[in-house]
Amino acid sequence: MSESAQGLRRSDGGVTEADVLAEIRAVAAAQLDVEREIQPDDDLIRDLELDSLRLITLAVALEDHFRIEVAEEESARVRTVADLCQLVVRHVRASS
C-alpha cells in the first residue's frame, strides 16, 4: 500500500477509503485512459484531466460498484480523489 493510501481511514460500514481508491484506480485505468497511478491528493480536473463526461463515467462506476446513489449537489463539491473517497464511504456507511 502506498504511503498516502495508508493514511486513509476505515469506515464503520466495512468499506475503507483505500477500497474506494483502489476502485477509482481500476476504473481510471480501464475506462478513463488514465495511465499514471492516482493519489488521494490528485485534483480530479486539474491533475487527472477528467472532463464532465469522464467524471460522470467515474461517478456511475463507483455508484454501481458500491451500490450507492450520490446527489449531484454533493458530487459538485468534490475536488480531489480523497474528497471522492470520503463521499463514497459516507454513503456506504449511511446505507448500511
- What does pTM read for this prediction? 0.84
Residue 8 lies in a domain: no
Structural domain contains residue 85: yes
- Burial 19-37, CB ≥16 within 10 A → b, else e: bbbebbbebbeeebebeee
% of the chain residues with pLDDT over 70: 86
CATH at residue 91: 1.10.1200.10
Bridge partner list, 80: 43
Torsion sign over Cα 40, 41, 42, 43: positive
Q: Is residue 1 part of a domain?
A: no
Give the tens place of pLDDT for each residue, 53-94: 999 999 999 999 999 999 999 999 999 999 999 999 999 999
How many domains is the chain partitioned into structurally?
1
pLDDT band at 47 (very low <50, low <70, confident <90, very high): very high
pLDDT-derived band at 7, boundaries 50, 70, 90: very low
5 Cα distance to chain centroid: 13
Q: How many other C-beta atoms lie within 10 A of the C-beta of residue 81?
A: 25
- If we measure between CA atoms, which residue out of 75, 16, 87, 19 comes closest to residue 50? 75
Per the CB < 8 A criterion, the answer to whether 61 and 27 are in contact is yes
Residue 14 has a pLDDT of 86
The answer to whether residue 53 is domain-embedded is yes
Structural domain includes residue 89: yes
Q: Specify the DSSP class assigned to residue 44.
A: T
Residue 65 lies in domain: 14-95
